[in-house]
Amino acid sequence: FVGEGPDKQMLQETIEGYGLQNNAVLCEFTKQPFYVFERSNLIALPSTGKEGLPNVLLEALAMEKPCVATRAYGMAEVVVDGKTGYCFPSGDVDALADAIVKIANSSEEEQKQMALNGKEMIFAEHDKAKQFEKILTLIKEKAAKAL
C-alpha cells in the first residue's frame, strides 16, 4: 500500500491481524514510485475519487506491471480486461479481490504477456511527445481552415 491518510494504523493492524507482514507493505507517499513497482507483482488502484486517468496506472504499465483498477473515469482506457489487467466496479470489494485473484491465478506466461501488452500500449498510445504532436497537428489544421 502506498500513500498517506487516516487509515494507516487500521491497515497496519489488518495486515498484522491476517499475518500478511511478508506479503503486504505500507509505504509512504512518493513522487518516485519505481521502487514500489519493482517489488510488486501487480498494481491495484481501487479508487473512488475523480482522478481521470491516474499517472500511477501509466507508470505501472510502462514498468510492465499488470493492473487492477476501478472501472471509472479514464482507467478502463488502459486497464483492459484480460489484456493489461482487470477493471471492477467502484466500491465492489469482492470484484476487486476477484480481479487480483484472476491475475494471481494466471500462468507466469499470461502475466508476462499482460505486462508486455501494458508496456506496448503505453509507449504506443500514451507517449506525451506523440500526444503533443497530435494536438499541435489538430490546432494547425483548424487554424488553416479558419484562415
pLDDT tens string 78-92? 999 999 999 999 999
101/115 Cα distance (integer angstroms): 16
Q: What Rg, from alpha-carbon coordinates, does the chain have?
A: 18
pLDDT of residue 129: 83
Distance of CA 48 to the CA centre of its chain: 14
Is 50 a residue whose pLDDT tops 90?
no
Question: CA of 109: how far to CAs of 54, 78, 103, 114, in Å?
Answer: 27, 20, 11, 9
User: What pLDDT, on the 0 to 100 scale, is given for residue 127?
Assistant: 80
pLDDT digits (tens, 9 = 90+) for 1-23: 888 888 899 999 999 999 999 98
**Tens digits of per-residue pLDDT, 98-126?**
999 999 999 999 999 999 999 999 999 88
Q: What is the pLDDT of residue 27?
A: 87
